[in-house]
Amino acid sequence: MTLLTVQGRATQHHPAERGTLRLQVKLVGADRSAVLDQATGLHGRLVAQARSFAQDGSATWWGSESVVAWSFVQWVKPHPDQEQVRVTRFRAGADLRVKFRDFGALSRWAADAATLHGVEIAGVDWALTQARRDAVVREVRTAATQDAVERARAYATALGHDDVHAVALYEQGLRPHVGGGDQAVTVGLRGAAAGSSAGSTGFEMRPEDIEVAASVTADFETL
């Protein structure tokens, strides 16, 4: 009987199904009330549009969680030949995130929002739906385990044994007395590009496929 320790891996790639556009409203000015009014008005306008996307089905969710407002000191020259003077200025802003299923609507809105003074496009987070993600994670976990079994059987055959049986199975990072390493299951943007184009009415976006990967280590005894 021989003890075999092997690693099993599995990876799948799937086109993104959701894109979460992250916007930030950032305005600066000399008058506190004016800056706050402009920021709240602009943010309210964007929120109304986000609600509209959710209502017509282009988006599945929207949220706004943070608001900022503060004053700061800035030294400026009123005129090139004058000394700097101390000026108090004010900044206000808020965030907004909208999760789209319609990538064409996402790209068009990003292009429209980018033209507004005080709006910054912070980025887009691409993902699978939760149901799809959960299903794929189950599949890659199963495939990683099967890969470990196949590896162990190949080694056993090479050593002249008939088969193997499992003694222990560990997700990545959970084997005792071994460093943590990477996560057992990873979901991220890696692999071939796939996406949609919005043409001349918006940004052309080609999100990378979502990579879902699983890794296990397992101990087997030969039979």
The reported pLDDT for the residue numbered 199 is 46
Please, what's the largest Cα pairwise distance for the chain? 91
Total count of domains within the chain: 2
Which residue shows structure tokens 């080609």? Answer: 206
The reported pLDDT for the residue numbered 198 is 44
Cα dihedral: 179, 180, 186, 188 (round 10): -90
Point out the domain boundary residue: 126, 142, 171: 126
What's this model's pTM, rounded to 2 decimal places? 0.82
The reported pLDDT for the residue numbered 189 is 57
In which residue ranges of the chain is pLDDT below 50?
191-200
Name 9's bridge partners.
215
Query: Could you tell me if 54 and 71 lie in one domain?
Result: yes
Query: Could you tell me if 213 and 162 lie in one domain?
Result: yes
User: In Å, how far are 28, 116, 137, 211 from 13, measured between CA atoms?
Assistant: 43, 36, 11, 5
The reported pLDDT for the residue numbered 192 is 35
Query: Could you tell me if 62 and 83 lie in one domain?
Result: yes
Tell me the C-alpha distance between 167 and 39, whole Å. Answer: 62
Query: Could you tell me if 119 and 37 lie in one domain?
Result: yes
The reported pLDDT for the residue numbered 184 is 66
pLDDT tens digits along 104-163: 999 999 999 999 999 999 999 999 999 999 999 999 999 999 999 999 999 999 999 999
Query: Could you tell me if 83 and 119 lie in one domain?
Result: yes
Query: Could you tell me if 121 and 134 lie in one domain?
Result: no
Query: Could you tell me if 143 and 121 lie in one domain?
Result: no
Query: Could you tell me if 9 and 37 lie in one domain?
Result: no
Which residue shows structure tokens 């690693």? Answer: 7
Amino acid identity at 147: D
CA atoms within 13 A on the CB side of 165: 2
Q: Contacts by 48-52 with C-beta closer than 8 Å and gap 24+? A: 49/109, 50/96, 50/98
